[in-house]
């Protein structure tokens, strides 16, 4: 089974940084298949990276190693970490960027979520810069994991990784759930923290209405449920409710950014 290592960073795509990490990875694990997920997480946007990692890791084989470097605290006291779940292995800073995948595994079965502090310099580069642990600690550890090193060799257990304070939606009675937009994607789809499971508890889709600012939107099954240029709500490919504009950008058209509040109500409550 050929090793796979994915890369998710906020390093951008015009400097040497991603290339330096790839060189380290291939030096230590020459057989690895390197897969760019994205290097364009907004600088230091831990929440966006955590959501991207959570969504994409589910599609990869479980022997994949996911290298995730969004690390505003590089050189400070934050720990470098790695974790293993049934969905894959993950390497990055202990700042919340890995918390969604760790938490999901932990919620299903605490015995399935293993985390360690990276504390064994023999798996790092010989010299560690203070500004680029991606190249000097995280990449070599990811390469060693992909090449066969076990998680336990990397350092002592990390009992409680830093958890991302991802906002949870709140019930305002049994017929109204309020949450917020957690990410606006490249197309301008506004992805919320309300999931398909939440909606199922509220009622059948035709009975629901989404309130977002001045907008009242119906829940549709597909973009084709409205005319081009019209807004709608639907459950997106990640299982979260999204606000969209057919063939357009809901982010631009509705002036929505992460943090924007929204609620879903049963129509009978009107």
Residues in 78-117 that interact with its own copies by CB under 8 A: none
SS3 232: strand
Report, in Å, the least distance between residue 104 CB and its own copies.
Answer: 15
d(CA 100, CA 102): 5
- Which range binds its own copies by CB under 8 A, 103-111, 123-131, 207-215, 262-270? 123-131
Task: Work out whether strand 190-195 and strand 176-184 pair parallel, antiparallel, or are unpaired.
Answer: antiparallel
**DSSP element (H, E) containing 218:** strand 215-220
d(CA 69, CA 62): 20
d(CA 61, CA 3): 10
Where in 72-143 does DSSP place strands (E)?
80-85, 88-93, 114-117
- Which range binds its own copies by CB under 8 A, 75-83, 98-106, 114-122, 174-182? 75-83
Pick the closer one to its own copies by CB: 60 or 175: 60
- Which range binds its own copies by CB under 8 A, 13-21, 153-161, 172-180, 211-219? 13-21
Q: What's the distance, CA 161 to chain centroid?
A: 15
Assess 23 for contact with its own copies (CB under 8 A): yes
Residue 197 has which token pair? 């499971």
Site mask, its own copies, residues 230-259, x = CB under 8 A?
Answer: ----x-xxx--------x-x----------
Assess 200 for contact with its own copies (CB under 8 A): no
Site mask, its own copies, residues 150-189, x = CB under 8 A?
Answer: -----------------------------------xxx--
d(CA 235, CA 196): 6
Pick the closer one to its own copies by CB: 75 or 206: 75
Site for its own copies in 31-70 (CB under 8 A): 31, 33-44, 48, 51-53, 55-61, 64
């Amino acid at each position: 089974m050929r090793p796979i290592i994915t890369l998710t960073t906020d390093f951008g795509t015009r400097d040497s940084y991603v290339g330096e990490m790839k060189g380290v990875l291939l030096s230590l694990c020459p057989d690895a298949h390197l897969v760019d997920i994205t290097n364009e997480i907004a600088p230091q946007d831990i929440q966006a990276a955590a959501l991207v990692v959570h969504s994409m890791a589910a599609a990869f084989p479980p022997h994949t190693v996911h290298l995730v470097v969004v690390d505003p605290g590089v050189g400070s006291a934050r720990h470098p970490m790695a974790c293993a779940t049934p969905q894959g292995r993950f390497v990055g800073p202990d700042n919340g960027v890995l918390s969604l995948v760790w938490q999901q595994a932990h919620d299903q079965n605490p015995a399935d979520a293993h985390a360690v502090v990276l504390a064994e310099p023999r798996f790092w580069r010989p010299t560690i810069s203070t500004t680029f642990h991606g190249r000097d600690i995280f990449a070599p550890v990811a390469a060693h994991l992909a090449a066969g090193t076990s998680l336990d060799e990397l350092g002592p257990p990390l009992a409680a990784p830093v958890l991302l304070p991802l906002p949870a939606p709140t019930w305002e009675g049994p017929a109204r759930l309020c949450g917020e937009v957690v990410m606006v994607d490249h197309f301008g789809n506004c992805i919320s923290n309300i999931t398909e499971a939440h909606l199922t508890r509220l009622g059948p889709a035709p009975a629901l209405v989404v309130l977002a600012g001045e907008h009242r939107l119906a829940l549709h099954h597909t973009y084709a449920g409205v005319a081009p240029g019209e807004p709608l709500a639907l459950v997106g490919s990640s299982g979260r409710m999204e606000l969209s504009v057919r063939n357009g950008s809901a982010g631009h058209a509705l002036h929505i950014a992460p943090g924007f509040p929204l609620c879903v109500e049963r129509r009978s409550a009107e």
